[in-house]
Amino acid sequence: MTDFPSDFTWGVSTSAYQIEGAPAAGGKGESIWDRFAHRPGNVADGSTGDVATDHYHRFPEDVALLAELGVQAYRFSVSWPRLLPEGRGRVAAKGLEFYDRLLDLLVANGVRPWLCLYHWDLPQALQDRGGWTARDTAYYFADYAELVAERLGDRVDTFLMLNEPNVHALLGHLAGQHAPGLSGLSDYLAAVHHQNLAVAAGVERLREMGAWRLGTVVNLQPIEAASDSEDDRAAAALADAAYNRASLDPLFSGAYPAALAPLMEAVVRGDDLQALRRPLDLLGVNHYTVQTVAAGEGPIGLRVVEPPPGSEVTAMGWRVAPEALTRQLLELKERYGNPPVVVTENGAAYPDPPPVRGRVDDRPRVDYLRRYLQATAEAIAQGCDVRGYFVWTLVDNFEWAEGFTQRFGIVHLDRETLRRTPKESFRFYQRVVAGGRLPD
């Protein structure tokens, strides 16, 4: 049960704003995260991604780490405003050069590039025109996707459209906790629908251009009702619809889930729903935890229930529940006819000790990864078509509204010197990748 298929893809995931730094280098335009992080009060420790891990300058070191780790694939995102400072039109040549060099180096090291087109850092210039609340953004996205495919696509193995549109809609457009900091129900619904349109438009555009594997990425977590009461069960069903199904039902079956459909009517136009149905070559699933929901106040009438005291949680307060990953993958298989799936993010934040003589003892992370890998293997044993697994993340980085207070890396970052030190979890994952199985 702990062996993985021989053609399984092992990888690591990162995202542009969380690692690159260099917010204005080479004429890069401002992104919504540049703007949001600089507004006092938005990020727990007052930090920004201005330096992040300085990947923009240190990427050769990071690629060397990937090579040492032995992964076959690297999922990273391109910063839209680094290529198109205004979001459309004028191209920043220096931005293209940066990704050119990164791609060349990955390929030279035998690491297959999995390029994610959008991981939450929308050009601020497009936000000024409404961002994801505006329908046009979906079509600007397709134009941008075309540019990337044309100029960088020759070295790309797999294109992924959007990272977690569900989380981006929820935290950025309803809860106000992420960029762009919006909090209206209509902003949220528009962001859901327009991101779905962007995925469909992006896939359509790239299909015409080449033979890449095309996919997109969502964050999925089983939603449990806080009690057996009818209200709590209805709240959990609505949360499931809004969180897990709002991007997937349209993609697989051209419809919004019943609990959400009446709300979506405000933004759906004409034959949108037919357009949203797009066959993908793979679905990226990011998974970290499980959620409990009860009926409550708020714009959509529900509230998230904190894990009971004594629960096993990570430093983020997220419950450790590996069996929920197995359940989630089985649910996907049942709901959508066993689509090819890749776990594109999984990992955990823990308060790691600092390096001692070049070693970082992060046993809790090793334990987390081992159990979640076991859960992945279990889903495969039960017939789920899981084709790969990517750890979140390579080097400790800027964790959005948590700033640098949370460490998710399998490589430790010293924020003063920016020195990288592989943790025990790096060594553990290296052994998993080399053997294609969980070591005892």
For residue 422, the SS3 value is strand
Q: Does 345 bind ligand FCB (CB under 6 A)?
A: yes
According to CB under 6 A, which residues from 374 to 403 bind ligand FCB? 392, 399-400
Structure tokens at 351: 């308060």
Catalytic residue among 30, 86, 150, 164: 164
Question: Is the peptide bond prior to 393 cis by the omega test (within 30 degrees of 0)?
Answer: yes
113: phi then psi, degrees, rounded to nearest 5: -75, 125
Site string for ligand FCB, 258-297 (x = CB under 6 A): ----------------------------x-----------
d(CA 41, CA 39): 6
In the annotation, is 345 catalytic?
A: yes
- Taking CB under 6 A as the binding criterion, the range among 24-32, 134-142, 159-167, 191-199 that sits at the site for ligand FCB is 159-167
> Smallest gap, in angstroms, from Cβ of residue 221 to ligand FCB?
10
Q: Which CB, 378 or 399, lies closer to ligand FCB?
A: 399
Contact by Cβ (8 Å): 372, 325:
yes
- Calculate the alpha carbon distances from 276 to 18, 249, 256, 290 in Å: 29, 9, 10, 27
Q: What does the radius of gyration of the chain's CA atoms come to, in whole angstroms?
A: 20
* Size of the residue set binding ligand FCB (CB under 6 A): 12
For residue 188, the SS3 value is helix
Give me the helices (H) in 40-153, please: 55-69, 80-83, 93-108, 124-127, 136-152
Q: Which of 164, 352, 362, 396 binds ligand FCB (CB under 6 A)?
A: 164
Q: Does 247 bind ligand FCB (CB under 6 A)?
A: no
d(CA 337, CA 280): 13
Q: Which CB, 264 or 283, lies closer to ligand FCB?
A: 283
Q: Does 421 bind ligand FCB (CB under 6 A)?
A: no
- Taking CB under 6 A as the binding criterion, the range among 162-170, 178-186, 197-205, 252-260 that sits at the site for ligand FCB is 162-170
> Smallest gap, in angstroms, from Cβ of residue 33 to ligand FCB?
11
Structure tokens at 429: 């994952």
Q: Which CB, 147 or 222, lies closer to ligand FCB?
A: 222
> Smallest gap, in angstroms, from Cβ of residue 357 to ligand FCB?
29
According to DSSP, the residues that pair with 345 across neighbouring strands are 286
Tell me which residues touch ligand FCB (CB under 6 A): 15, 18, 163-164, 167, 219, 286, 345, 392, 399-400, 408
Catalytic residues, by residue number, are 164, 345
